[in-house]
Amino acid sequence: MGSKGDMTREKILSVAEGIILQKGFSATSIDEIIQQSKITKGGFFYHFSGKNELAGALIQRYLVQDDKFFNSLFERADSLSEDPFQQMLIFLKLLSEAMADLPNGHPGCLVASFAYESMQFEEEVLALTAEGIISWRKLFLDRLEHIASRYSMKIEVSLAELADMLTAVVEGGIVMSLVTKNPDLLVQQILQYRTYLRLLFEGPTVPQLH
């Protein structure tokens, strides 16, 4: 159980994230965050010196949550198969199901939101945003390299670009879903990427262990 201060800080971050995803960072005021958080102005400034420090805390929190989310899905996929290709296919299926289960669709990505308004942030916040994209590339690339070590490809493609493609599919799917108000588009794009992997990789190049 966290302290009262920790809970207040978390409440500020949760409220701020919701407003920013809905309105954008520049259109979100500290006064609005204070009002919706039901705290005093002093309470806000006890935790954050201003909007830029708040932005840094928000992006760090968002990336930690995403890391936990992706790793939990991979852990589940790993428990269901010992084959790296099947693990990736299961992960993508689990990811699509998790997105489909969101009651009102995906609320939006803080990384994308900050990228759109990059002129509003100091270099430290932008660096954290870039680190998030790079961490996703590494996470997915490690999986793809494991697949490529045991499976041949019908067409030679860059595994790093293939890893980035998954990030682009998810981020693009979120934008499409929000703009069209159709949450299914994100789910469909994830499943299309899954189909692409199935078409791209042929059978295993080494005997499978049983």
Question: What are φ and ψ of residue 203, in 5° steps?
Answer: -70, 170
The fold adopted by the segment(s) 59-204 is: Tetracycline Repressor; domain 2 (1.10.357)
All residues at 6 or more sequence positions from 198 whose CB lies less than 8 Å from its CB, including other chains: 89
Stretch among 16-30, 85-99, 118-132, 133-147 having the lowest mean pLDDT? 118-132
Do you know the residue count of the chain? 210
Mean per-residue pLDDT of the chain: 90
- Angle, helices 51-80 vs 4-23, to 10°: value is 90
pLDDT, tens digit, 9 for 90 and up, residues 37-86: 999 999 999 999 999 899 999 999 999 999 999 999 999 999 999 999 99
Query: 3-class DSSP state for residue 155?
Result: coil
Q: Would you say 173 and 165 are in contact if contact means Cβ atoms under 8 Å apart?
A: no
- Where in the chain do CATH 1.10.357.10 domains reside? 59-204
- Is 93's pLDDT higher than 70? yes
pLDDT digits (tens, 9 = 90+) for 99-134: 998 866 677 788 878 877 877 878 888 888 888 899
> What's the rounded Cα separation, in Å, for the pair 176 and 63?
22
CA atoms within 13 A on the CB side of 206: 9
Q: How many CB atoms lie within 10 A of CB 22?
A: 12
The CATH classification number of 1-48 equals 1.10.10.60
Q: Which two tokens stand for residue 142?
A: 């490690």
The CATH 1.10.10.60 portion of the chain extends over 1-48
Q: Strand, coil or helix: what is 171?
A: helix
Cβ contact 91:22 at 8 Å: no
Longest Cα–Cα distance in the chain: 65
Report field, pTM of the whole predicted structure over 0.85: yes
Q: For position 104, what pLDDT does the model report?
A: 66
